[in-house]
Chain A
Amino acid sequence: MASPFALSVALRQLTHNRGQTLLTIGVVATSVTLILFVSSLINGLQIRLVSTITDSIPHLRIMPVERAPEVLWDRPEAQASPVFVGTVPKLEQRQRKIEGWKPWLERIGALEPLELTALLPSVDGPVVVSRESKRISARLIGALPEQYNRIVDLQGNMAAGRFFGLNGGEAVIGVQLARELGVHLGDRISLLSAEGIVASATIAGIYDTGFGALDQTTVFVPLRDAQSLLQLGNAITGFAVKVRDVFTAEKIAGNLRQQLPFKIESWMEDNERTLSGLKAQDGSSQMIIAFTTVSAGLAIAALMVISVSRKYREIGILKAMGASNGQILRIFALQGLILSVMGALIGTFVSLALLGWLSGLQTVAASTGRPTDLFPIAFTIGNFLVGNGLAVATGLVASIYPASQASKVDPIEVIRGQ
């Protein structure tokens, strides 16, 4: 229980030495503002960067295993008999596909029921799109539009036409591909697959997602049309997966690899360099936070050491009158606590106002011509707790030294000093 004595003396001293109190609160508030600002901004930048990568692609791709070439002399039969030459493994079909995929779909869904937010069959392959004399090589994706929209929101980004309810013989393409081909809604294009199959499709929709890879080079058709173009029958080329938390993708992939006879790739493997850049950024923001915290702590400690030495005589006399060491200690520990809590509150308030203002600022992205936030700011409860928790803990820690000096004041020395 905080004694009313310590609290009343602590508060009185703080309100009496207003200038010094405001100065200390200002230092803490500035530090908290800096911490919240830096962490929210870096957080926001990372979220923006990661989402530009992960919003337009499946987080995991589940594909048939590529057969590794087998080394014959590693086989046990070869070691038993030096003249063994081995059997020639039956050459796999060049095209890799998953037959009878429906039971697999259920099985995969059951393995990670909580972590997977989307799981769907898809067909994926190279295609040449042509319109009159123009030929452009592109990527063909066949899927059910209502399902695939969970991987990337095309329906919400249609420049013209529709994605949902795509019929056989219809295709949806990106705005840049449409421009290059010179096609519009309702025009017909022809698609030539690597298997040599040609089909023609009507443009039912043109999307504009802002993701270059999608808008420039991807053609969506219904699953069935893609299967026949790539001569897959009822088979698919893989499953596309979205996970709840993008940063757990690799862990989930690891789990699935152990339990499934498929090759599983996560977005994290494909973006290792970006991710290690993010780690470095995390590290440097933690350094900034650490140094800011330490300097705020030193400022509190310095100001409190001064106030203890100014109060030296009064402390001695209070002790002579019967103040315990604990009561004296609490006076100064409470001051540290009050200063840091006030500073943290003000810092939070200021940084919220600042972040609110900055997050309203917009700029026009040069590549897409779309308005985007100048500062991608993500203020989280976590940032708030870390910034404020650090400030309050620092205030307490910083006051320990001056408070214990105060509690050690010897009344006899004070009395002698007179």
Chain B
Amino acid sequence: MKPALSSSTLAVERVGKVYPGEVPTRALNGVSFAVAPGEFVAIVGASGSGKTSLLNLLGLLDSATEGTIHLNGVDVTNLTPGEAVRLRRDMLGFIFQFHYLLPEFSALENALMPCRLAGEGQVARQEPGMLALFDRVGLAGKLNKRPHQLSGGEQQRVAILRALANDPLFILADEPTGNLDSANANEIFTLLRNITREMERTVIMVTHDHELAAKADRVITLRDGRIESDRPASALAHCS
């Protein structure tokens, strides 16, 4: 009965989310899908269709009202806050529309912040790899710059490196290019796409830029909290 958990690294089964309140809001309704390791999935949909709600559930920031979620074979539907914190640190990387880099720390320190959360040993282990990544994204000369000394595109590149700092299995990105002009958006997207492909990371990216979504492996379209379509990006490109 269960979907092939072993072959998929992320599995969402009949997940629903209702926000309580005077008028309870249903944000997600019977959402099911599975993502294979290394897949790059774009989630699109109108504003209010439930994209962020879904990403928050996958990011263990919120809990589902119904259904189950498995990450890497672990049932993460009902975790204690402590377990959620640990899994977020070990398995997940986040990218947001705004970079939220800490203004008091340099670019390199910001990128290594998730390691620092896990302990100084982790910083020492990941620093060489991080230096290579800075080189890779063309920021080798800006390691010690503070966020305000970087351009918008550079800030977001540092934020991407930060999401990769702990070698996470999953990268969750909520409109990572939403705050950039289209040239920069393209560049950042391509970077994210290439790096995660090289590193074989799984990416779930929310976007409302259909051009970018078309460059993913797969596009899931949400509408009023339900999956309206779920197909390979090539198919979507054909449709539009």
With contact pairs A4-B119, A415-B52, A415-B174 given, residues A322 and B104 touching in the complex (Cβ less than 8 Å): no
B-contact bits for A314-335, CB 8 A (1 contact / 0 none): 1011101111110100000000
The complex places the Cα of A324 from the Cα of B81 at a distance, in Å, of 9
Give the interface size bracket for B toward A: 20 to 34
A12 touches B174 (CB 8 A): no
Chain A residues closer than 8 Å to B114, beta-carbon distance: 321-322
B117 and A322 within 8 A (CB): yes
Chain A residues lying within 8 Å of B82, measured Cβ to Cβ, are 324
> Which B residues are in CB contact (< 8 Å) with A13?
104
Q: Does B201 sit within 8 A of A, measured CB to CB?
A: no
Q: How far is the CA of A416 from the CA of B97 in the complex (A)?
A: 11
- For A325, the chain B residues whose CB sits under 8 A away are 81
Residue positions of A touching B, CB distance < 8 A = 3-5, 8-9, 12-13, 15-16, 313-314, 316-318, 320-325, 327, 411-412, 415-416, 418
Of the residues A314, A316, A324, A415, contact of B85 by C-beta under 8 Å: A324
Q: Which residue of the partner chain B has the closest CB to A15?
A: B104
Chain A's closest residue to B59 (CB) is A320
Interface residues of B in 94-141 (CB under 8 A from A): 94, 96-98, 100, 102-105, 113-114, 116-120
CA distance A9 to B120 in the complex (A): 13
Q: How distant is the Cα of A286 from the Cα of B91 in the complex, in angstroms?
A: 55
Chain B residue nearest to A417 (CB atoms) is B98
B89 close to A412 (CB less than 8 A): no
- Contact partners of A314 in chain B: CB under 8 A: 100, 102
Q: A418: which B residues are within 8 A, CB to CB?
A: 96-98, 174
A416–B98 Cα gap in the complex (Å)? 12
Question: In the complex, which residue of chain B has the Cβ closest to the Cβ of A414?
Answer: B100
User: Are B117 and A416 within 8 A (Cβ)?
Assistant: no
Residue of B nearest to A12 (CB): B104
Bitwise, B159-182 to A at CB < 8 A (1) or not (0) is 000100010000000100000000
B residues near A15, Cβ cutoff 8 Å = 104
For A316, what are the chain B residues with a Cβ–Cβ distance below 8 Å? 100
Q: How far is the CA of A320 from the CA of B96 in the complex (A)?
A: 11
The answer to whether residues A5 and B61 also contact, given A317-B100, A416-B52 and a CB cut-off of 8 A, is no
Contact A321 B88 (CB under 8 A): yes
Query: Is A4 a contact partner of B116 (Cβ separation < 8 A)?
Result: yes
Q: Quick check: is B8 within 8 A (CB to CB) of the other chain? A: no
Contacts of B113 in A (CB 8 A): 318, 321
Q: In whole angstroms, what is the CA distance A325 to B81 when docked? A: 9
User: Given known contacts A4-B119, A412-B61, A415-B52, is B89 in contact with A322 (CB within 8 Å)?
Assistant: yes
Instruction: Say how far B131's CB is from chain A's closest CB, in angstroms.
Output: 19
Docked-complex contact B96 and A317, CB < 8 angstroms? yes
Q: For B231, list chain A residues within 8 Å (CB).
A: none
Beyond A412-B56, A418-B174, 7 additional contacts (C-beta under 8 Å) are A4-B116, A314-B102, A317-B100, A321-B88, A321-B94, A327-B117, A412-B62
